[in-house]
Amino acid sequence: MTDFIHEPYKTIFVRDLIKMSLDDLLNMMVTLESGNAYWVDGVIFASFAMTDSEELAKKEIQGQTYLDKIIFAKYEKYSKTIKLVNNLEMNILNVEKSHLYRDLISWLKKQPIWNE
């Protein structure tokens, strides 16, 4: 039988945090054709990984990863979809059950940019 081991990242490096208005965030997501935004504890967000490389792959094995940026907006109440001003509709995934994403948003709310 195959052994499965859950091994969370030890360290996640975030290069940039970008707080946006909800409309700007959603328009950016639609423009990038990202498809979904994520929601946890009053925050709608998306994260973007750095371009893959051999060096980053080695760090992944060591339990480290790098995010190029996290874009986010305050969005108190979860809904499965949100309608943009131009009537496009976007899916929002509730990932509140993810320990990783809950920890990420908890950390994000402690950053100076949260209160800007």
Mean pLDDT computed over 87-102 = 91
- The CA angle 87-83-44, to the nearest 5 degrees, is 145
pLDDT at 34: 63
**Residue 26 has what pLDDT?**
86
Which of 29, 17, 1 has its CA nearest to residue 88? 29
- Residue 82's alpha-carbon distances to 11, 46, 48, 104, in angstroms, are 32, 15, 21, 22
Q: Which residue has the tokens 């925050």?
A: 43
CA angle 80-69-116, nearest 5°? 80
Q: Which residue has the higher pLDDT, 109 or 53?
A: 109
For range 40-62, the mean pLDDT: 89
Which residues face 94 on adjacent strands?
39
Q: What is the pLDDT of residues 31-42, one digit of tens each?
A: 776 667 899 999
Question: In 1-116, which ranges are E strands?
Answer: 11-14, 17-19, 36-40, 43-49, 64-74, 81-83, 89-94
Say which residue, 49 or 21, is predicted with more confidence.
Answer: 21
